[in-house]
Amino acid sequence: MRIVVAVLLIAPFVAYLAVPSYARVKPRLAGFPFFYWWQLLWVIITGVFIGIAYLLTRPRGDAPASDPANEGGE
């Protein structure tokens, strides 16, 4: 599971650094050059990947997380 989470978090970083692969004007989408809409698409993909990574790493419902505010047993 950790490998999947690592890939989900590293993939957008690698995609953003691969500028030569998307540093072009065509194809255009709704008048926007490829460079701009590809970056915007990766912003959305990054949010989805981070959300999935969060869901994969959060504590399960059967193992409640400790609540520091309720340590007094109240």
Interval 17-66: pLDDT, tens: 988 888 888 898 888 898 889 999 999 999 999 999 999 999 877 655 56
Q: What pLDDT is recorded for position 32?
A: 87
- 9 burial level (CB within 10 Å; 0-12, 13-18, 19+): middle
Q: Are residues 25 and 35 in contact, defined by beta-carbon separation less than 8 angstroms?
A: yes
pLDDT of residue 60: 79
Alpha-carbon Rg for the chain in angstroms: 19
Q: What distance in Å separates the CA atoms of residue 46 and residue 48, rounded to the nearest whole number?
A: 5
- For the question of whether the overall pTM of this predicted structure is more than 0.85, the answer is no
- Three-state SS at 68: helix
Q: Indicate whether 3 pLDDT > 90.
A: yes
